[in-house]
Structure 1
Amino acid sequence: MTKHENPPDKDKHGEFSIFVAGDDLDFRPVTLSDRHVEVDQILRKGGYNPTLDHRLVELTFPGTKSWDDDETIDLKTSEPRHFLIGKSDRLFAFAIDDIIYETPFEEMGERQLRRMAIIGDDKILVLSSEDKPEQDLGPDDVASFAGHKVERLFSRDATVTVYLDEEGARELPRGTYMFKKIFALLGITAGFALTYVNAAGKLISFKDADSVDLFDGIKFFSHAAGGGAS
């Protein structure tokens, strides 16, 4: 009887594609020939040398998983694997909407944070610090994680619902606006004055040099200059 060799295990060898990126989160594909690989194999294949100077963090959507240099990763999964690689001897922690993330980067831009947490364009990211006022992050803003135990961010709607006189609700971009900008956004014509009810429920006269921080449900009243609210 002829003895046959055991057939090769197709699950162990082949082409296993992953995606890697630096702090720009511009992912590029990397293909490995083994299903089970060590972290330093991924780093070498991606061109990150010396491997001991780099950290590997996987995006798990949501959240992250950090990998140590001597760990082995099973690449056979149904979903594409995405890895961040940074030149760092430590990891930095932050939270977005109460989900903890780790990153090998001391700072990250707003665009990159959105991609990590899958935040759509209908939301804005807000940086929340104990010792500073909340800060809405714009596309060019950067969040720094060095020196913080856990930096916290959250997402909220990019628009707010506002009311003008007896008209129905309308949506405006969230933000702080000067007098002339609010008149333009609300479509109020020249010769009219404006008042609004603030978050404390107080009626405020809106003057030329003033600004207003829009919040959800804010009510505006227009009236002829010199007259009362309609």
Structure 2
Amino acid sequence: MKILFVEDEKKVTEALKELCKMQNIQCDVANDGDEGMLYALNQIYDVIVLDIMLPRKSGIEILQELRANGNKTPVLMLTAKDTVEDKVKGLDSGADDYLVKPFSAKELFARLRALGRRVDSDYIDNSITIGNFKFDLENYTATIDDQPIKLSYKEGMLLEMLIKRPEQVFSREQILDRVWGFDADVNENNIEIYIHNLRKKLKGTRIKIETLRSIGYKLKVMD
């Protein structure tokens, strides 16, 4: 998992970073709303944790802007406020969950794992099923009509990224960072090769990977 924490209390974010390291979870931290928005728009996360009360831009403003841009990343609102009105406002703005401070680390990470597993498709036993296609998120194995298809590890990583966020557009830079790593010695042509291979392997399914010229790629589930 890769998580973004947007929280202005530095003691809290330092503790969360240490907990993530212990659980082998990647994380980025932003201490104000503008920085958090920049991270959220330019990186790919499994879950985003937003404090409501932030300098420069509130968590609600960040959430509303993300949803307006079509970003479907699960969001957990983290705040000291405990009123019904605050909870309703967060959920109505597109939040997926809500946790009030003070909280236990055990509960926080349980909620993060649950949100990280949430997808817009049928999800059973750590796999995604779309029509005749089934994809195992743990082992990156797949079947079409119960017949196995061969996926390389990088193909599996790329497919996982796309299939967990149908209709969300991913830039080439975001894909390179998530699948190959920020400092990897690869270029954007590698992405097109892997996309081409995935399209061939997904023939006969309801899954289509679309290219948005000069922008990036998105996965679409056909009716």
Normalised to the residue count of structure 1, the TM-score between the two structures is 0.26
More helix by share: 2
Select the structure of larger CA radius of gyration. 1
Normalised to the residue count of structure 2, the TM-score between the two structures is 0.26
